[in-house]
Amino acid sequence: MSRPDRFVGKSVIVTGAGQGLGRVYAEGIAAEGGSVVVADINDVAGKETVARIVEAGGRAMFVHTDISSRAGTEELARQTAAEFGGIDILLNNAAMYDGMAMAPFTELDETDWDRMFAVNVRGTWNCCKAVVPYMRERGTGTIVNIASTTALIGPPLLLHYTATKGAIVALTRALANELGEEGIRVTGCSPGVTYTQATNNILGDPVLGDIFVEMQAVKKKLQPEDVAPLVLFLCSDEAGMIVGQNYVVDGGWMKP
């Protein structure tokens, strides 16, 4: 259930918030009172998210951000703190996903591999490095990293993406231990195959999407609205003692 006051007084960065899951996270946090910074490399999509939030009565601003750039993430943090007085929450959602190659690992080239790691892993690291000094000033903060069940299942034809998401799971655990004593809580979530426009672009053939659904315990296409409630909970103070974990929302695709 949505709580209109859960993020009141909180300054929240959501990366990759121009579309898909990121947009749903950003809109959900704003609807619960948070001041949201929509960070995205796509200006049109990012500004559209901000417009939707403002139209609904929320507070948001857009910052053009290439998370693979250290300077870009430092500027994101600077603008956030200048506008909203600090940084309380970082939701690391941005990742290279839409348009990525699906191919046997022997057919992936170094450009595919390096770009995937530059965005998905180095980008997450960059964002964490950029915001932590502001969180240290307050003696508190929350970082939620979005990984993927691909890292836990290991599906074929996505080795580069899967490897980056495995790195995010490990990064989350290590960073949680490193920052916990400073009052900065780090945890994460691994969504399953979630049906956004980007997912439809990758799968192409609708039959392939149906195959993924059949692998789930619950035979329903996972939607962003199915994932967002857990992610918003992890961002909130209610999850104050949930640290270093990787929660799965996938309709039962990954089974023990």
Percent of the chain with pLDDT over 70: 93
Range of the domain at 194: 11-245
Residue 35 has pLDDT above 80, yes or no: yes
Given a contact cutoff of 8 angstroms between Cβ atoms, the answer to whether 34 and 12 are in contact is yes
pLDDT at residue 80, rounded to an integer: 98
Mean residue pLDDT of the chain comes to 92
In a domain, 6, yes or no: no
Residue 181 pLDDT grade (very low, low, confident, very high; cuts 50, 70, 90): very high
Least confident of 125-134, 144-153, 163-172, 201-210: 201-210
Q: Could you tell me which residues come within 8 angstroms of residue 64 by beta carbon, excluding any fewer than 6 positions away?
A: 40, 41, 43, 46
Residue 235 has pLDDT above 90, yes or no: yes
In a domain, 92, yes or no: yes
In a domain, 251, yes or no: no
Residue 95 has pLDDT above 90, yes or no: yes
pLDDT at residue 103, rounded to an integer: 84
Give the residue, 210 or 201, on which the prediction is more confident.
210
Indicate which CATH number applies to the domain containing 163.
3.40.50.720
In a domain, 121, yes or no: yes
Given a contact cutoff of 8 angstroms between Cβ atoms, the answer to whether 63 and 80 are in contact is yes
Q: Which residues are catalytic?
A: 161
In a domain, 118, yes or no: yes
pLDDT at residue 200, rounded to an integer: 63
In a domain, 174, yes or no: yes
In a domain, 41, yes or no: yes
Mean local confidence (pLDDT), 89-94: 98
Please give the Cα distance from 151 to 214 (Å, whole number): 19
Residue 159 has pLDDT above 60, yes or no: yes
DSSP state of 122: I
What's the order of all strands across the beta sheet hosting 59-64? 59-64, 35-40, 11-15, 89-92, 141-146, 184-191, 246-249
CA 63, chain centre distance (Å): 16
The reply to whether the predicted model has a pTM over 0.85 is yes
Residue 198 has pLDDT above 80, yes or no: no
pLDDT at residue 193, rounded to an integer: 84
Residue 222 pLDDT grade (very low, low, confident, very high; cuts 50, 70, 90): confident
Q: How many domains does the chain have?
A: 1
Residue 154: strand, helix, or coil: coil
In a domain, 163, yes or no: yes
